[in-house]
Amino acid sequence: MTSAYISAVVAQCGSIIGALVSIATTWLTQHHQDESRRRAKEYTRRERIFIEFIDLSSKAFVDALLETSIKDPVKVVSLYATIGKLRLFASEQTVEAADKVMSRILETYYGPKIDLQIRPTPSHTPDILREFSERCRTELRAYDH
């Protein structure tokens, strides 16, 4: 082989390698962007379900504090439906915390009522969403990284 052929072959190999590197870089960039979009979408979905549960359980808990029985089953059924959604996407610990909230709401419906006109003692100040909210925050932080 002459030096001209060697130079041409080396040039072609360089072009091929350059093209392959370009293709690989484009593919990796696209893959990373797709993964980032997917994670952002999943994060938003979880966040929405967590907020939905907090909103519904807050309303149901206030209703449970005021009523002696479940007068509007839609409130409880909506809460059960949201827990079902949580079971699809949330961690086991978050679902367990949601189940505790649901149990507490049902207990409150049929338990002794507190007088909302007087200031409750610290032992009667219910923060039924604290554990659930903390689990959600932990889960979202872990998923965000």
Residue with tokens 């979880």: 46
Average pLDDT in the chain = 86
Residues 60 and 46: their CA atoms lie apart, in Å, by 21
Total domains present in the chain: 1
For 58, the token pair is 């807050």
In a domain, 7, yes or no: no
pLDDT of res. 99: 96
pLDDT digits (tens, 9 = 90+) for 2-24: 777 777 777 788 788 877 878 87
Of 141 and 1, the structure prediction assigns the larger pLDDT to 141
- Residue 12 inside a domain? The answer is no
Reduced DSSP (H G I as helix, E B as strand, rest coil) percent helix, strand, coil of the chain, to 5: 80, 0, 20
Confidence of residue 85 (pLDDT cuts 50, 70, 90): very high
Neighbours of 91 (CB within 10 A): 16
Residue 48: the pLDDT is: 95
Checking if the pLDDT of 28 tops 90, the result is: no
pLDDT tens across 98-137, in order? 999 999 999 988 888 777 677 666 555 568 999 999 999 9
Higher-confidence position of 96 and 109: 96
Distance between CA atoms of 39 and 3, rounded to whole angstroms?
A: 53
Mean pLDDT on 30-46: 86
User: Residue 59 domain-assigned?
Assistant: yes
| pTM (whole model) above 0.85 | no
Asked if 109 contacts 64 with a C-beta cutoff of 8 angstroms, the reply is yes
Q: What are phi and psi of 104, to 5 degrees?
A: -65, -40
Domain that holds residue 53: 43-144
Q: Is 84 among the domain residues?
A: yes
Residue 124, pLDDT score: 57
Residue whose token pair is 């554990």: 131
What phi-psi label fits residue 40: left (phi over 0), alpha (psi between -120 and 50 degrees) or beta?
Answer: alpha
